[in-house]
Structure 1
C-alpha cells in the first residue's frame, strides 16, 4: 500500500540542513508504518506550480490502482508572483480538480487535506485566519467531487487557539540565537512547523485516515504514541536535492490545460 503526498512546504520532508523545520508528511510514516509514504511535496509550491511544473505528472506516472494521493495546498496559492497565485474559487479549485481527476484516472484514491493554519495572533491574543477562503474552497470542491476530506485547517485553528500565542511557539520554528546550529542567529517562523508541531499534525491526519476507513487498520501504529524529537529522521541534503530534481517530468502547457 502506498500513500503519495502532493503539497507545499507544510508537507515536504526536510533535509538535515533545515532541521528542526519539519513537514507533517515527513513524520506521517511514524503513524502508518504499514504503508509506503512517497512524499513528493515541494517547498514553495502552489497548486498551480505543482501541476504546471510537472510534479503532478511525476506522481501520476508512478500511481498504481489502490494507491492514495493526499493533496494539500493553500499556503503558497495566496502569494502573488512567480506563477504561483490562484484565486480560491477559480484556479485553485481548477488545479485541485485536476489532481483529483488524474488520480482517479489511474485507479488511485484522492484525498483532499486543508492546510494547517499559520501562527497568527492579534494584539489581544485572538487567532487570525490568514488562509482566508482557501480551506472553504477545498471543502466545497471535496463535496462536489465526493472526495474524502481531512480538515487539518479547522483542527489546527482549534489547536493553536487553545494553546495561545505563547503555547504555539513550541509547535512552530521558533529558536533563540545559538539554540540550533542550523539557525545560529535564531528564527521566528510562524508558517513552518518544528518536529513537535509536525508530529501533532501528522497524528491528526493519520487519525482521520483511520477513522474514515481510507486504509486498513492493520497499517497504523499506536496513534497516541509519544514521538521523541530525536527519533525523527531528516533527509541527507544530497538525497533531498536529488529527489527534488527527479520528482518532476516535462509537461507542455497544452497537455496540462485539459481537464
Structure 2
C-alpha cells in the first residue's frame, strides 16, 4: 500500500515514546538537550500494540538497559526492508528529527530477502548495501552516529538440533559495509544464533511468539525481546557507541511485567 508523506509522519510520531516528547519540552525550556537512540528496522524491533500481544519487538525492551536520560525513538515498522523504509519516506522522518550527538541503529534484512516482492527486495552485495549507505550518510550528515545491526536470527534448527542461519549473504554484506564505512557493528545475527543454540530446540520456544494458536519462529515474546535487547545494549557498550554510564541492568533480571502493549493510535 502506498502511503502519503503525511501518513508516514503521523505514524512515526505515534511510534515515538512519550519520554521523547518530554525531552523535546525540556529542550524548549532551554535545558541541556538529552541524546536519543533512534531505531530504523523491521518487525523484530518494532513497537507492538495491544492487539498483537504477546508479540514484542526488542526495541520495546531496550529502554530498560539504558540510563533514564537517554531517550529511545523506535521507528521500526513491521514488514519493512531497507528499501521500502526509504521509499515510504520513513527515513526522511528520522533524518528530519535526528540531531547532533544522537544515534541511529539500523537493522534490516528479514524483508530485504523477499525476492518475490519488488517493493521490498534488495540484493545483498548491491542494492542492500546501497540503501544502508543512505542511512549511514544521512545520520552522519546531521552529526549523528550510525550503528549497523545485523538481523536477529529466526528460530530454526536442523534435525540434529543445531541452530542454523537463515539470512543468507545479508549479514556478511552488512559486516563488509560496516568495515568499509567504519561504522560500529552490532552483530546480532551471530550473537542471537549462539543464544538460540545455547537454549536449544525446546528452550527457544519460550523466547519466540509461540501461543496456543500460533507457532511464530520469527517474532519474540517478552522474554525473547528482553534477551535480544540485552544483546543490543551489551554490543553498544562493547563497540563504545555508549559509555558505561549510559547502560544499566546488563546482568539483572528484567521482569516480563515491565513490557506493556499500548492501544494503537487511531
- Range of TM-score over shorter length: 0.7 to 0.9
Equivalent pairs, count: 230
| TM-fit CA distance, 1:106 | 0.5
Matched, 1:96 2:132: yes
| TM-fit CA distance, 1:82 | 5.2
Matched, 1:11 2:33: no
Q: CA-to-partner distance for each residue in 1:113-153, whole Å, 9 max, x for gaps?
A: 01111101122222221111111100000000000000010
Greater Cα shift, 158-167 or 2-11 = 158-167
Q: 1:218 aligns with which of 245, 248, 254?
A: 245
Matched, 1:66 2:75: no
Is the Cα–Cα contact under 8 Å of residues 40 and 105 in structure 2 kept in the other structure? yes
Matched, 1:194 2:228: no
SS of 2:195 mapped into structure 1: helix
- Alignment match, 1:55: 90
Q: 1:153 aligns with which of 186, 189, 194?
A: 189
Q: 1:209 aligns with which of 228, 236, 261?
A: 236
- Alignment match, 1:23: 57
Distance 2:263 2:139 in 1: 30
Distance 1:135 1:2 in 2: 26
1:58-137 alignment runs, 5 A limit:
58-79=93-114, 80-81=116-117, 83-137=119-173
- Alignment match, 1:139: 175
- Alignment match, 1:257: none
Greater Cα shift, 146-155 or 27-36 = 27-36
When the two chains are superposed, the root-mean-square deviation of aligned CA atoms in Å is 1.1
Distance 1:233 1:171 in 2: 16
Is the Cα–Cα contact under 8 Å of residues 185 and 239 in structure 2 kept in the other structure? no
* Unmatched runs of 5 consecutive residues or more in structure 2: 1-34
- Return the TM-score normalized by structure 2: 0.84
| TM-fit CA distance, 1:208 | 1.4
Is the Cα–Cα contact under 8 Å of residues 13 and 235 in structure 1 kept in the other structure? no
* Unmatched runs of 5 consecutive residues or more in structure 1: 177-185, 242-259
